[in-house]
Structures are given as structure tokens and as C-alpha cells.
Amino acid sequence: MSKLIIHRGTREIGGSALEINTDKTKLLFDFGIPLESMEKENYSLEDYKLPINGLYREEKQMFDAVFLTHAHPDHYGLMQLINPDIPIYVSKITYDILLKVVPLLPKNIEEKLNLRIIEDEIDFGDIKVKAHNVDHSVAGACAYEIQAEGKTIVYTGDIRFHGRASWQSSVFKRKIQNPDYMIMEGTTLGRTEQEIVREEDLEPEFIKIFKSGKLPLVQFSPQNLDRFITVYRACLATGKTLVIDPYTCYVLKIYSPISKSIPQFDWKNIMVYFAKSTISDKLAETKELFRYKSKKITIEEIIDNPEKYVIKGNGVINKQILNKLDRDKISIVYSMWKGYLDKPGQFDNYKDIITPLHTSGHAYIEDLQKLVEKVQPKNLIPIHTECKEKYTELFNSNIIELDDGQELNI
């Protein structure tokens, strides 16, 4: 008999961890840190440990493998606690982000990890796991299709159908047919705004703002490749030069194997502002930073000709520009989840010049309904949602609402 246990994620967004086991094999999918940790200055990974036997460093190994869906901390954040004898499987891009990008960040990975790249399918004898690439707000995301003792279980991870890689989610949707269980994320179920905004829809909006004559400070995550491409394309369309930081240059390099069309720091209409930060210091240690020297721009050059530039914001450059330019010459474009603005930050006194321009990393309800309609799972299990009770009214399938830690025989 196989079992499914969602250790965390049945009533919250983030911190996901779910286990599928048979008598012989034990697998874990995702091992994230809850999003509330982001609001804390100081916390220990131990604070978020889950009661899962045979997974941790100090314990006798009982798990055969761990699979991560993508490189967001609410899906990988606790992986350092995992016994290094247990392999952790990820996609090639997730592997590069976790090993080359995440170590630059303030809360970095100190422990050695047993990360491996999942090429296609892995066979454990009585369980087979297959990865399917899907579209999400970080590149390299995948869903998993698990065959366990004659039953098929699909775990979507975080998924959407409106980014530049939406075709990957569509291929996934076509390939999966009639699984016994689909464990599906429902992040957007609690959100009131359901107007479908696609990544491409943002480009004309950026162009409008870039034409306004003000210096745009655009806030977005460097790991959000889609957004980088959108902002860069809007710069090309308006003849602006995009000023980025060394961290963004480096992330673009990590993404470069995905496609030759991913812009790099030495492309036209890109300059680099050498923001002093712990990340720049780390890039200097490896000499990476010096590669960007030929494209260096100073704050004075920007201030002297603000109409020429668009700034990819970061804490350091935002502060410089807000200090040196009058507020009526600046427009702040907030291209991240608006909820982050509720926390105190450097834009507290600038709310009147902020324009939100964003699209979610998660599928809209309508797209989730189409997914369920096409895939026709025999049973649908909510995860990564604050609204599991809404699945019954929204989706045409047999809904199994689990609680964290509850065992389901499958």
C-alpha cells in the first residue's frame, strides 16, 4: 500500500513538503521554509523543522530521495537539514541556481548538499518519478508525475499558464491523462483580482511609463527572467539604456544555457552600476565582478541625463537616486507582489509615485480549471493554498482535503 502525507502546505502558501511512500521506498517532494520566515530578522532553520523520521542529518537514513520543484525558498529552504546521504533531485537550471546563485544571498547555504540533476525519469523499483517542465516565475520549475504500485500521482509544484514559458505548462497539461491523484497548488484562490494579465501584456505598460520623461526605478527579482526580458524589450522600444547591478549580470549568465536569446550584460542598451553590497563583494572575490567593468556607469552619469536610463532597482541604487533627484523626476515601478509593500521599507514616503506592474507566478483560477478539465484527475488534492475549501465549488473532480501530517492510503 502506498501512502501520501502532506507534511506542510494544506492550509498555507509556502513551506511545502509532501511524502509518498511504499513499504520499500520513501520519497519527499519539496522541503520549503514557510514564507513567514521572510518577515523575521533572525530565525533558525530548526524552528521550521517538521516531524519526519529518517530525513535529517543526525538520523538514520530512511528516505531514498528528495525532489524539489523549483528554486524558491518556500520549496527548497530547509534542504540544508537533509542527511547528505539522501540525494536531492532538481532540474538543471534549479541545480545551477541553488549551487551558484543562492550562495551569494545573505541567508546562504553553508552545508554541503547532495544535489543531482534529474534528466528524465528515475526508477526506484516500486516507484517511478518523472519530471515535467512547467512555467513559473523562476526558470527551471518542474512538476512531478509519480507511479507508485500501479497508481499515478501528479504534483504540480508552482505552476502558471501566462508567462513566457507557458508552452511548457501546456505540454505538461497535454501529457498527463487521468491520474489517480493530482496534488494541485491553489495560491490565487484567495485573491480577489482574477483579471488575466499575461507577461506580454506588461510590455506596452512599461513602454508608456518609460516614455513619461521621468527616471523609472523598476523593482523586480533578478531571478524573474521573464520580467527582465519584458523590461529590456521596453527599453529597446523606447531607446533607453537599462542600468543593472552585478548580481543581475551574474544571474543572467547562469540562465544563459537556457537560450541564446537571453540578454547578457554586454548586449546593447545595458550598463552596469557597481552597487556596493555583500553580493558584489562575493563576486569580486571570484573576479567575476571585473568582467562587467567595460559596461560600468556612475551615479553622476545617470543623474546628469536621467532621460536616457531605466534603472533596475536595488536597495543601494534606489537610495542614491531618491537622495539626488527630485521626486517629481522619478517614477517607481513596483514589479513584484504588492503585498511586500505593506512591510516597512525604503519606499514608505514614496507611495504616491509608485505604479504597480506585475503578473503573478501562479495560475489564475480559470487556468487551473482548464487544467483540471483537460487532465481529468480521479481525485484532486489541494496544496499551497489558504483556501482548500474552495476547491469543491471550483473544480470538477473528487476533492480530498487533507490536513498537514494526515496519512492518505493511495
Q: In the complex, which residues of this chain contact Zn ion (CB under 5 A)? A: 72, 158
Smallest distance, Å, CB 73 to Zn ion? 9
**How many Cβ atoms are within 10 Å of 251's Cβ, its own excluded?**
24
CB nearer to Zn ion: give 26 or 72. 72
- What is the smallest separation between the CB atom of 32 and Zn ion, expressed in angstroms? 9
Q: Which residues pair with 182 in a beta bridge?
A: 154, 380
Whichever of 134 and 271 has its CB closer to Zn ion, that residue is 134
Minimal distance, residue 268 CB to Zn ion, in Å: 32
Question: Cα(19)–Cα(64) distance, rounded to whole angstroms?
Answer: 11
Q: For Zn ion, which is the closer residue by CB, 88 or 249?
A: 88
Nearer to Zn ion, 137 or 230 (CB): 137
Closer to Zn ion by CB, 137 or 331: give it. 137
Shortest CA distance to 240 belongs to which of 213, 266, 261?
A: 213
| Least CB distance to Zn ion at residue 135 (A) | 11
CB of residue 70 to Zn ion, shortest distance in Å? 6
Question: Considering the complex, what minimum distance in angstroms separates the CB of residue 71 from Zn ion?
Answer: 8
Nearer to Zn ion by Cβ, of 152 and 156: the residue is: 156
